[in-house]
Structure 1
Amino acid sequence: MAILGVLAIHIFGLILGEEQLRGTSTWYFGLIIDLGSTWCVPVFVMISGALLLDPRAHVGGPGIFLRKRALRLVPALVVWHLVYLLLVRRVFFDDRPTIENVLLQLIDGRIFTALYFLWLILGLYLVAPVLAAFLADGGRKRAVVTAVVASAWTAVILALPGITTELGSPRPRGDNIVIMFLPYIGIFVAGYAWREPQRHGWRWLWTGALAVALMAETIWQYNVRPDHTWLQALSPVAYFSPLVVIASVCLFVCVIDLCSRVELPDRAQRVLRSLGAATFGVFLCHLVFYSVFRRWYPDFWADPRPVAKIQMYVAIVVLSFALSLVARKVPVLRRVF
């Protein structure tokens, strides 16, 4: 589900780049889908936290844990940076940046649109053994407190640039591939803290309702920018902003509670596991197909009509999953999908 949200942001978000459409039904269509999908990155991180902070993942010690993750992530990180730099940017778009520009873009995590996420996950991998050791004997309470405190710390860091701007002395927040994982530590721990489903009761209902309400506020807040300057400063719209984080946790809890009550046939479970295993590859390759449309079908790519965006979305989802599923059956390609 989260990967579908990522693709939705990249495709339907194109509508919001057309400022002349503001206030039209097309604008609101793109706004609702794009901003309504901002939960996807936090939920991705929460799923990672639920898996990577589990004590069972660290039975062999930090060395084995890190080696296993490095063998999975580092080849993909290197190969896909080269794919987007040399194939997409150079071959597709004849973009020939200088070595200095490439190095600066690499430091900023901006070689291509979503590749920063690989550096984010790499940073979380590196701190996972330390966090897991800290959380191991503290029970759920320690995990919840850690998630809340870390998320509150992130909220302050996120708000400070806006606050200083309102006070007339801007202090922009810097970011780079070494530290970009830090704002996500609270979300990472939250996935572990709230990983256990409740198979009975109504928790799914109120968490789902709260998630919808908070995402509605996020959509409204983005739409009224730059009005309500202090609100925009104190809680800017971002993947790790307070309201988006709370909404993402609520959605995560709602979904795991509902899924725990559904008994699927073995065949359906196998299909879902295969699709789930393919999502990493989908994340990595979908922007190649996006770029193909941009380069060779520019009118279709730029068409803001909802029907055109839905068609492009479906095409990229199908093509990306097809490539990822096939690539995972090829031993060499499997290492980078």
Structure 2
Amino acid sequence: MADNLKDLSDAGVSIWLDDLSRERLDSGNLAGLIRDDHVVGVTTNPTIFAGALADGEAYDPQVRELAARGASLEQAVRELTTTDVRNACDLFRDVHAATDGVDGRVSIEVSPALAKDTEATAAEAADLWKTVDRPNLLVKIPATVEGLPAITRTLAEGISVNVTLIFSVERYRAVMDAYLEGLEQAKANGHALADIHSVASFFVSRVDSEVDKRLEAIGSPEALALRGQAAVANARLAYAAFEETFAGERWEALAAAGARKQRPLWASTGVKNPDYSDTMYVDQLVVADTVNTMPEKTLRAVADHGKIAGDKVTGTAQEAGEVYAKLSSVGIDVDDVYLTLENEGVEKFEKSWDELLDSVKGQLANAK
């Protein structure tokens, strides 16, 4: 029987689960995924935590304890979420050690309400790092214009970062520049570069959702023929930018001092269009030095019927560029697509954060 997840891992793709909850931790589900399904990391976001806190009773004992000591709403949310992340970090301790710190990583995101505030983002990133207090944590910071200097500042303090909500290759290049600058400052600050890790989360499925909607509005045969091609092409162009950046003189100087590459992470890899293969954002983005973080539904689909057939990315930049040339020729404003997706991404996470606050507020009230 084929072991698609092993094949994916052997191809150099780190498999991370895009989900975390107290129930997963307490039931042994996450431990089983690590043991049996080659899962070597976890990502979270406000939407994931909002769903976890609203579902089930696993958080009730801690909520009662928080209510009994009069914790504020903000304190309660911070303690509930960082407890899950800290416990997950501990669960991945052996993976972290076995991979020299590359994997065994768990991510937690700064409040999305701070996405346009550099100072507040950097301050919260430092506070989350201190609160979780685990070396295999990644603090997620969105790749907004305001987030870029916060990324640099956070790395400069020796804090490992997951840069999230990246949609365009242009912004991705700015993210990599912020990473290199952060490492340079960290070195000047006396931090060991080998201890600083980072991934750059490049969102995939949302690109197809937005571009396909616009192609269908155009409606010409040429436009409709391009559906389902934008997201994979975009990711392949991003990987070409990664290869270029992490082969230059600036990077080589940092590598000589022990620095690690900031790996591309394929995020939002659950397929939203039922007309497409439910494993396409895994099968078509196999390449070494990457992470694919996927919901369990996608993980199970890949295990069952994924088509893992080696490197599908290296050397594809020209073909991917041709896809974008065709998109422009039929009337797709790709810059507007990226701006729309970034704004929507921040808004969705802000809405989820508000839902999380409302859920915890109600639970605290009921516990009193």
Give the TM-score band, short-chain normalised: 0.3 to 0.5
Structure (1 or 2) with the greater helix fraction = 1
Structure (1 or 2) with the greater strand fraction = 2
Q: Which has the higher contact order (CA 8 A, sep 6+)?
A: 1
- Normalised by the length of structure 1, the TM-score is 0.34
